[in-house]
Amino acid sequence: MKKRKLGATLEVSEIGLGCMGMSFGYAPFPDKKDSIAVIHAAVEQGVTFFDTAEVYGPFNNEELVGEALAPFKGQVIIATKFGFHFQDGKMAGVNSRPENIRRAVEGSLQRLGVDVIDLLYQHRVDPNVPIEDVAGTVKELIREGKVKHFGLSEAGAQTIRRAHAVQPVTALQSEYSLWTRQHEQEIIPAIEELGIGLVAFSPLGKGYLTGKIDENRQFADGDIRKILPRFTEEARVANKALLDLLQQFADRRNATPAQIALAWVLAQKPWIVPIPGTTKLHRLTENLGAASIELTAEELQEIETASAHIHVVGTRYTEAMEKSTGL
């Protein structure tokens, strides 16, 4: 698989693997051995970029990723995240105070079984802590050899600029797909100017853009989609126009809608790296197949023109989630 560069120096596979759903957000979860098999298959198929976070679980997703990637030390890049307060083992709001960042990093190093964190993101901006203090703390951790690269997640343009002035930001991780494009207005131009890469999470719209989730799908307790406005039965019906568009190009290119959706993300900028998540081996292979699909300028314009007339129904998160963590 080809490589892409995030920031000035971090090279990763052009498609990464988001590991969150293996133990968080998308219940029911697979057996650990099955998740490890998917991670190993990803390595075998050329993936070098794996994404986790302290809050996934919490904690057990980092343990899973650390165990699975232990045989490949030095060959892969692991990204993780800090930024939450925990009470009784559960997430209890954002917390990016310097002492909490250091606590999180020590825990992540231990759970991942590594000596240094390749890419460390602030998971969500903490309105109570100046971003300069956050960037300064990570800068110290980089000097101490505990972290290699600094990242932000779901941060606004001004926050990114302020952080970058203290410690260069290697990557911004934010949601980006054919149905989540608000970052094109201010954020993507800002990070392009600053030389920061974009790691696109949910590039398949939390599974919707695969075309496999219809209005009859029932989500289990513990599946985040059960409460998201875009995944109500009405929204799933209303948003089928986007699936029809993807299917049209999938038929034309002998591909799947998921592959077209990922190929579209890859085609936007050479420094965008999507990290679709999956717990199934055949879906992993399908997703990685998108790397071999190069949409032409004419096809991209055709998608742009058609999608401009499609109104996506439903917000991506509930209002309360947007106000707090946006997870």
* Per-residue pLDDT tens over the stretch 202-228: 999 999 999 999 999 999 999 999 999
Smallest CA-to-CA distance from 63 within 32, 91, 104, 96 is with 32
Is 303 inside a domain boundary? no
Domain count, the chain: 1
CA distance 150 to 273: 16
321: pLDDT strictly greater than 90: no
pLDDT band at 326 (very low <50, low <70, confident <90, very high): very low
Catalytic (active site) residue 56: yes
Is 259 inside a domain boundary? no
Is 257 inside a domain boundary? no
Is 228 inside a domain boundary? no
Q: For the domain that residue 17 is a member of, what is the CATH number?
A: 3.20.20.100
Is 221 inside a domain boundary? no
Task: Return the DSSP state at 159.
Answer: H
Per annotation, catalytic residue among 26, 56, 121, 208: 56
Percent of the chain with pLDDT over 90: 97
Q: Helices in 4-70 by DSSP H: which ranges? A: 32-44, 60-69
pLDDT band at 165 (very low <50, low <70, confident <90, very high): very high
pLDDT band at 323 (very low <50, low <70, confident <90, very high): confident
159: pLDDT strictly greater than 80: yes
CA distance 9 to 142: 15
pLDDT band at 324 (very low <50, low <70, confident <90, very high): low
73: pLDDT strictly greater than 70: yes
Domain span at residue 76 reads 3-207+269-293
Smallest CA-to-CA distance from 16 within 299, 219, 273 is with 273
Cβ contact 197:271 at 8 Å: yes
- How do strand 17-18 and strand 10-13 relate by DSSP bridges? unpaired
Percent of the chain with pLDDT over 70: 99
pLDDT band at 320 (very low <50, low <70, confident <90, very high): confident
Is 327 inside a domain boundary? no
Is 255 inside a domain boundary? no
- Predicted confidence at residue 219, as pLDDT, reads 97
Chain mean pLDDT for the chain: 97
- Predicted confidence at residue 327, as pLDDT, reads 43
Q: What is the mean pLDDT of residues 159-178?
A: 98
Is 308 inside a domain boundary? no
Q: Where are the beta strands (DSSP E) in 131-279?
A: 147-153, 169-175, 197-201, 272-274
325: pLDDT strictly greater than 70: no
